[in-house]
Structure 1
Amino acid sequence: MGYNICMLSDFFYPNVGGVESHIFQVSLCLIEPGHSVTIVTHAYGERKGVRYITKGIKTYYLPFKPVYNQAILPSFILTIPLLRNIFIREQIEIVHAHGAFSVIGNQALFHAIFINPNLKTVFTDHSLFGFADTSAIITNKVLQIALWNVDSAICVSHTGKENTVLRGKVKAELIYVIPNAVDTRVFFPDLRYKSNGKIGLVVMSRLVYRKGIDILAKIIAPLSCVPCAKYPNVEFHIGGDGPKMVLLEEITEKHHLQNRVFFYGSVKHERVRNILVKGHIFLNMSLTEAFCTAIVEAACCGLHVVSTKVGGVPEVLPPEVMTLAPVDPALYLEVVERVIEKHQKKAILDREQTSKLASGIYRWKDIAQRTEVVYNNIFKQDSIGEGSRKHDYPGDPKRSLWKIGFFFGKIAYLIALWNILVVFICEWMFPKETIDICPKLLPEKKTNVKTH
């Protein structure tokens, strides 16, 4: 028999992104060996209540509206009764939250031990954060509160693991490194595409400061401005939207590059490949990145990647398919020029070779199997009496909430006492015996699907 798993995050379908894709793909793969997966997120417009997606994965869209960057406001009164009801109805054994900015995920990790001391908790961190500015300090303290009693954590890179150990104050031995992956049935090269002598440079990103769009703005003109361009056959294909779109459009108009720079705006995930296959080189200029799924998608489509050397990016792809560059516009431009020259001389791998190498590294089935190992180890530790936590809440002598800090520690302790009170009231008003248990749907029969 498999585990009853609850995946929680503020970021899920119909929103599109790396976290959303990770939750969806891992959930699909966990269904195959017999696990039951329930997903909990907030409402998206009119999408509320319970929905079923592929292979019978049940998704609860809780009646909370996002207020900023797809995240909801904390609500300790309302989330506890709803989560308790879901955990009981679905007979949840493992609470798995995703994303440091996910309010629902963070609250679920903190609530779990009070709702049911036997629940196991796992946290997957998908991002890197700093330590110096005010927002980072507050975010890191909130993460420490959420992870004060977590059983295990997962990071998508070794750099991300070091970052989470420092930010979340989690023991290093409790953290596993499991990367993201790419569905190679969706991302594969178009070997019949004719570029007519053009060299396509592709950018697929949110057009925001953190993604290094200011670097992109400074290399467009030197590479494509016709009177002085060293490479008159270079053209840019830019997918994505954001506040930096205006800057890129201004540069395009100023240098009359409308026939050399093409904007596609916000691109649905199923259409990303259609743009990637138009290019030969993929540009990633992120200022911080824990993993960067976009560069793997590009490499699977046969593009050579030029990326800034930040965060966990150097761990993602081998040097045969990725060239690293400094976070400096002038130096980044030099690296791009060298790669263009190598491409012209056919001194780098072609589309088919690049795709074959990249697509064999990351597979969702492997990621799910490694996640399953994390679950197994949690229960194994309990069975031999070496569990990662003790359930003498609201304070543990080794990992007490008081140790989070003079100010935040007291707040966390008060929240813990509030959790105990709310759960007690819920137990009195809605006893477990009165909550119906949901029957589990049988998994769909496997079908043979060709992969590219």
Structure 2
Amino acid sequence: MVIEFQAIVCYGSLSDHIDFVDRQVVVMTHAYGNRSGMRYMTGSLKVYYVPWKPFLMQNTLPTFYGTFPIIRTILIREKITLVHGHQAFSTLCHEALMHARTMGYKVVFTDHSLYGFADMGSIHMNKVLQFTLADVSQAICVSHTSKENTVLRSGLPPEKVFVIPNAVDTAMFKPAPERLGTDEIVIVVISRLVYRKGADLLVEVIPEVCHLYPNSVPGEQLFFAGLSKSGKTDESS
């Protein structure tokens, strides 16, 4: 996997979010503080901390071809068969996908955020996305809304984009043993409270819920927990 803000080069796997059993996964990311070089993690996970420092939002400075020598070395040394990149704003991800396709590797891109079309940042990133994803093998999104957003922004054919929802650990999270009463509605939102996570959609969804259940409005409870744009934890109800 190549991971920066979030990005990947992997061998025999599609994501760093799945079990590593019977799969060899190699992660490439930028240096964190004095952590640089190659490290082994739990489960024989090998991580390459390349000597690039992030300059904004945990992203390294774009170099286009500056990362090619080390990416090529890792791909050949580790006998990589699949390169997987996360996150549209990860410069390391874009460069890894571009170099991997140049070398003939299969590449997969995963996006799990929503971006706009009108502001300068989104316009610029959408152009970069169209360039980088022009030759990817497949793409993955975590919801159908995310897929629609990615297809519109990148110009990818819809048949190349697959939806794999975020997994739920059923050993930890199970349905309530008894059916909850219908006289009270509790809505819980756990997410970073930023636009690309769909926080703005809550403003439109909440009135619709109140309209559908008018008799339950006095008993409704809404809980929001997550990081704000400033990076601080916000909790409100």
Name the structure 2 match of 1:243: none
- In 2 relative to 1, CA 148–203 (structure 1 residues): closer, same or farther, beyond 3 Å? closer
| CA shift digits 1:113-170 (9 cap, x unpaired) | 22x22x1010001111111111111010011111011010011111111111111111
Q: What is the aligned-residue RMSD (CA, Å)?
A: 3.3
Secondary structure of 2:60's match? coil
Shift of 1:106: 0.9
| CA shift digits 1:221-267 (9 cap, x unpaired) | xxxxxxxxxxxxxxxxxxxxxxxxxxxxxxxxxxxxxxxxxxxxxxx
Q: Does 1:80 align with 2:31?
A: no
- Correspondent of 1:210 among 191, 195, 198: 195
User: Percent of aligned pairs with the same residue?
Assistant: 45
Task: Return the letter of the residue paired with 1:338.
Answer: S
Q: How many Å separate the matches in 2 of 1:141 and 1:336?
A: 44
Contact kept? 1:40, 1:62, Cα under 8 Å? yes
- Correspondent of 1:25 among 13, 17, 39: 17
Between the two proteins, the alignment pairs up a number of residues equal to 207
Name the structure 2 match of 1:66: 54
- Correspondent of 1:150 among 96, 121, 136: 136
- Correspondent of 2:90 among 74, 85, 102: 102
Pairing of 1:37-436 with structure 2 (within 5 A): 37-114=25-102, 116-117=103-104, 119-185=105-171, 204-206=190-192, 210=195, 286-287=199-200, 324-326=205-207, 338=216, 341=219
Secondary structure of 1:8's match? coil
Secondary structure of 1:104's match? helix
**Which of the pair has more CA radius of gyration?**
1
Gaps of 5+ in 2: 7-13, 178-185, 222-237
The worse-fitting range, judged by mean Cα deviation, of 44-53 and 91-100 is 44-53
- In 2 relative to 1, CA 183–170 (structure 1 residues): closer, same or farther, beyond 3 Å? same
Task: Return the letter of the residue paired with 1:287.
Answer: D
Secondary structure of 1:67's match? strand
Secondary structure of 2:54's match? coil
Task: Return the letter of the residue paired with 2:4.
Answer: D
Task: Return the letter of the residue paired with 2:72.
Answer: R
Q: How many Å separate the matches in 1 of 2:175 and 2:196?
A: 25
Q: How many Å separate the matches in 2 of 1:74 and 1:150?
A: 20
Gaps of 5+ in 1: 1-6, 13-21, 192-199, 213-284, 289-306, 310-323, 344-452
Shift of 1:51: 1.7
Q: How many Å separate the matches in 2 of 1:110 and 1:125?
A: 16
Structure with higher RCO (Cα < 8 A, 6+ apart): 1
